[in-house]
């Protein structure tokens, strides 16, 4: 034990014991103790270091995304499958190219890109020739056969992903129905950097854009996002599905984007400023949302007066999620909580 501890105090104590030869120590014990004192101090400390020191891996530098291409608007359509726990996605982003380049670097994690192309304003479509995933950095580089020239354009990406069970990104949340069946909702948690698990994007808070979100979902499911629904129509490829389109968001960071698909009841009211407020609860528990609804409708005008800043969206939804890692998340227009 003294050898593993490797303390100089312990060794000097042993040395005094062995040189004074107290009568209480047997000759065999003295021989062992004298052997310890003959071990060089540096050897003892090396052994101790190897036994007790945790060597931390060298931290890799954080590399920001290039600034030669940035988003102006994301046109995003997602089609989640709540049976196979996968989703299909289409992204059509309006982007600005600030300097000529033949690559676009974006954040991307746990997503497989099927096709990608770039259409310059007034020009012909250029198909990407390669997708280089940097998994450790959660990035993907789209390569093009020719340079994308300075100016506006449209970036189109088809991709697939997984509704994971990690409670981050676009994930599945398990709950029990009123009949005792196990069901799943598809929900999001993007803060701090997990929007990239739902769609390829520039997933840094400073890189802001507007969002036009559409979700293709079972027609009997409640479907929510940051903004209000502007269109709900049958999905032509499957009579059991509908496509739900939401109004364009204000300019915002990717981590504040949110959507929820599941079975919920709700209670509704309006603030004195005319903002629609809804509190969503598990089916059959709408009564439990009334107190939260009362507080929320009073809080909006209070904060407007206190900060002299009006709430800028037409609605705010508050929804309880069964599987939720954080205490709550301030998604703009769609507040989620445990």
Of the residues 207, 241, 263, the one at which a domain ends: 263
Which tokens hold the place of 97?
Answer: 């190219």
Statement to judge: residues 182 and 328 lie in one domain? no
What is the reported pLDDT for 26? Answer: 59
Distance CA 295, CA 310 (A): 17
Statement to judge: residues 156 and 30 lie in one domain? no
The conformational region for residue 190 under phi > 0 = left, psi -120 to 50 = alpha, else beta, is: alpha
Beta bridge partners of 271: none
Distance CA 143, CA 149 (A): 14
Statement to judge: residues 103 and 227 lie in one domain? yes
Q: Does a structural domain hold residue 202?
A: yes
Task: Supply the DSSP string of 306-333, one letter for each residue.
Answer: HHT----SSEEEEEE-SS-SSSEE--TT
Statement to judge: residues 255 and 269 lie in one domain? no
Taking Cα atoms as reference points, which of 271, 321, 317, 327 lies closest to residue 294? Answer: 271
- Domain of 121, CATH number, reads 2.60.40.1730
pLDDT category at 20 given cuts 50, 70, 90 is low
Q: Does a structural domain hold residue 58?
A: no
Please give the tally of structural domains in the chain. Answer: 3
Statement to judge: residues 218 and 305 lie in one domain? no
Tens digit of each residue's pLDDT (9 = 90 or more) over 264-317: 999 999 999 899 999 999 888 898 999 999 999 999 999 999 999 999 999 999
pLDDT category at 8 given cuts 50, 70, 90 is very low
Pairing verdict, β 276-281 and 315-320: parallel
pTM beyond 0.85, yes or no: no
Beta bridge partners of 159: 89, 113
Distance CA 242, CA 221 (A): 10
pLDDT category at 325 given cuts 50, 70, 90 is confident
CB 259 within 8 A of CB 225: yes
What is the reported pLDDT for 34? Answer: 55
Supply the range of the domain harboring residue 336.
Answer: 265-338
In percent, how much of the chain has pLDDT > 70?
Answer: 82
Instruction: Check pLDDT > 50 for residue 47.
Output: no
Instruction: Check pLDDT > 50 for residue 14.
Output: no
Statement to judge: residues 124 and 258 lie in one domain? yes
Statement to judge: residues 278 and 181 lie in one domain? no
Statement to judge: residues 199 and 285 lie in one domain? no
Query: Which range (55-59, 63-67, 102-106, 158-162) has the least confidence?
Result: 55-59
């Amino acid at each position: 034990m003294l050898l593993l501890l490797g303390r100089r105090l312990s060794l000097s104590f042993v040395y005094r014991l062995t040189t004074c030869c107290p009568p209480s120590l047997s000759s065999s014990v003295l021989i062992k103790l004298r052997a310890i004192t003959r071990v060089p101090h540096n050897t003892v400390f090396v052994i101790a270091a190897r036994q007790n020191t945790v060597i931390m891996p060298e931290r890799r530098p954080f590399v920001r995304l290039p600034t030669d291409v940035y988003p102006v608007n994301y046109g995003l359509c997602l089609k989640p499958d709540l049976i196979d726990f996968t989703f299909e996605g289409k992204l059509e982003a309006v982007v600005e190219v600030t300097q000529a380049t033949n690559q676009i670097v974006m954040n991307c994690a746990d997503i497989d890109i099927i096709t990608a192309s770039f259409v310059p304003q007034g020009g012909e479509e250029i198909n990407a020739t390669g997708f280089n995933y940097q998994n450790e950095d959660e990035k993907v580089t789209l390569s093009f056969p020719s340079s994308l020239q300075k100016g506006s354009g449209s970036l189109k990406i088809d991709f697939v992903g997984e509704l994971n069970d990690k409670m981050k990104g676009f994930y599945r949340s398990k709950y029990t129905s009123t009949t005792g069946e196990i069901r799943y909702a598809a929900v999001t948690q993007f803060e701090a950097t997990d929007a990239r698990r739902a769609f390829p994007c520039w997933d840094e808070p400073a890189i802001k854009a507007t969002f036009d979100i559409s979700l293709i979902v079972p027609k009997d499911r409640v479907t929510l996002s940051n903004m209000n629904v502007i269109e709900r129509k049958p999905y032509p490829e499957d009579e059991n599905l509908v496509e739900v389109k939401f109004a364009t968001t204000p300019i915002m960071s990717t981590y504040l984007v949110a959507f929820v698909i599941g079975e919920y009841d709700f209670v509704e009211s309006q603030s004195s400023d005319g903002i629609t407020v809804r509190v969503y609860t598990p089916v059959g528990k709408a009564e439990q949302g009334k107190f939260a609804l009362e507080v929320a409708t009073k809080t909006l005008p209070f904060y407007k007066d206190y900060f002299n800043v009006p709430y800028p969206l037409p609605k705010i939804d508050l929804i309880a999620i069964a599987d939720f890692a954080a205490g709550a998340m301030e998604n703009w227009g769609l507040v989620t909580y445990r």
